Amino acid sequence: MVAHLHVPGRLKLSDRMSVSARLAIAFAMMICMLIVGAGMGLASLWGLNQKIEAQSRVRTPSLILAGRLEVSILRATRRMRNVLIVSDADKVKAELAAIRADQQVRARLAADLGRLVTSAAARELLQSINKAAQAYGTSESAFLRFGEDGNLE
């Protein structure tokens, strides 16, 4: 075992410093750690703020428009059912006119939704929805023609 030799002329740095100097260094280190922690917290809050802004700027309006589009389709199908059920010619014409108005609303909502979508995956999904909407729109237009001609029986 090597014995610890004490050299009388060399003192450790901590032995040469006064208590007040040691306390000042400790408090300075605490303040530095506090500043680093605050900086990390601010960076985290900035990232969270960016996510919230993206959510409120794009995702939430897109979700609202998609919900309105769904409601418009459901309303049109309910009106098509009413056309088949109702026997009064004036009510049938009113329902057919409302279906035409819903077509215009859906076209506007789809265009608005297309402007909001930014990611490639969302654009692909929107294209598949638009293809389904075109097929539905073709059938709906045929139904409207039959309804206006009185050939629904």
Q: Which residue has the higher pLDDT, 77 or 118?
A: 77
- What's the pLDDT score for residue 61? 87
- What's the pLDDT score for residue 96? 92
Average pLDDT over residues 8-29: 80
77-108, pLDDT tens digit by residue?
999 999 989 888 899 899 999 999 999 999 99
- Return the ∠ at Cα 139 (arms to 98 and 68), rounded to 5°: 50
Q: Over 80: is that where the pLDDT of 8 sits? A: no
Q: What number of residues does the chain have?
A: 153
Q: Over 90: is that where the pLDDT of 45 sits? A: yes
Q: How far is CA 137 from each of CA 54, 64, 95, 107, 130, rounded to the nearest angstrom?
A: 32, 21, 16, 10, 10
119-149, pLDDT tens digit by residue?
888 889 889 988 988 888 899 999 998 888 8
Q: CB-hemisphere CA count at 13 Å for 41?
A: 6
Q: Which of 9-13, 14-18, 45-49, 67-71 has the lowest mean pLDDT?
A: 9-13
Q: What's the whole-number average pLDDT of the chain?
A: 87
- What's the pLDDT score for residue 5? 56
